[in-house]
Amino acid sequence: MQFMNDIIENFFIRTIKQDDSQRIWEIRNHPMVRENSNSSEIIDFEKHDAWFQKKYFSGSDNHCYILEKKAGYIIGYCRYDYNSQYKAYLISIALDPEYHGKGFGKYLLSESLKQFNKGDIVAEIKKENMPSVKLFQKNDFNIYDEDDINYYLKFKQN
Ligand X SMILES: CC(C)(COP(=O)(O)OP(=O)(O)OC[C@H]1O[C@@H](n2cnc3c(N)ncnc32)[C@H](O)[C@@H]1OP(=O)(O)O)[C@@H](O)C(=O)NCCC(=O)NCCS
Residues at the interface with ligand X (CB under 6 A): 33, 36, 92-95, 100-106, 125, 129, 131-132, 134-135, 138
Cβ-based nearer residue to ligand X, 1 or 46? 1
Of 46 and 147, which CB lies nearer to ligand X in the complex structure?
147
Q: How far apart are CA 15 and CA 116, in angstroms?
A: 10
Q: How far is the CB of 7 from ligand X (least distance, A)?
A: 10
| Cβ nearer to ligand X, comparing 32 with 50 | 32
d(CA 55, CA 25): 14
Query: Min. distance of Cβ 129 from ligand X in angstroms?
Result: 5
Q: Decide if 81 contacts 45 (C-beta within 8 A).
A: no
Would you say 119 or 139 has its CB closer to ligand X?
A: 139
Minimum gap (Å) between residue 19 Cβ and ligand X: 22
Of 36 and 49, CB closest to ligand X = 36
Q: How far apart are CA 57 and CA 157, in angstroms?
A: 27
For 143, the enclosing helix (H) or strand (E) is strand 141-146
Minimum separation from the CB atom of position 137 to ligand X (A): 10
Q: Which residue is nearest to ligand X (CB)?
A: 105
Closest distance to ligand X from the beta carbon of 109 (Å)? 7
